[in-house]
Amino acid sequence: MNIDLVFWGPWLVGFVVFAVWVWQPVKEFKQMWDEQHRRHAESLESDPPR
């Protein structure tokens, strides 16, 4: 059990750091994406196609 922890400890920490590092830009991108779509939907509503 101790050997497993010594082996998997750094991997676990690395994975958590990697997950957080990847999650930040993903969250920001999703926010930007939602904003863009909302703006697009509003512009479609305010300017109906003829």
Phi/psi of residue 42, nearest 5 degrees? -65, -40
Q: Does residue 14 lie within any of the structural domains?
A: yes
pLDDT digits (tens, 9 = 90+) for 8-39: 888 999 999 999 999 998 999 999 999 999 98
Q: Does residue 3 lie within any of the structural domains?
A: yes
Helices (H), the chain: 2-46
Q: Does residue 10 lie within any of the structural domains?
A: yes
Domain count along the chain: 1
Residue 31 structural domain: 1-44
Q: Does residue 7 lie within any of the structural domains?
A: yes
What pLDDT is stored for residue 29 in this prediction? 92
Please, which pLDDT band fits residue 48 given cuts at 50, 70 and 90?
low
Phi/psi of residue 33, nearest 5 degrees? -60, -50
Q: Does residue 17 lie within any of the structural domains?
A: yes
Q: Does residue 49 lie within any of the structural domains?
A: no
Q: Does residue 50 lie within any of the structural domains?
A: no
Q: Does residue 29 lie within any of the structural domains?
A: yes
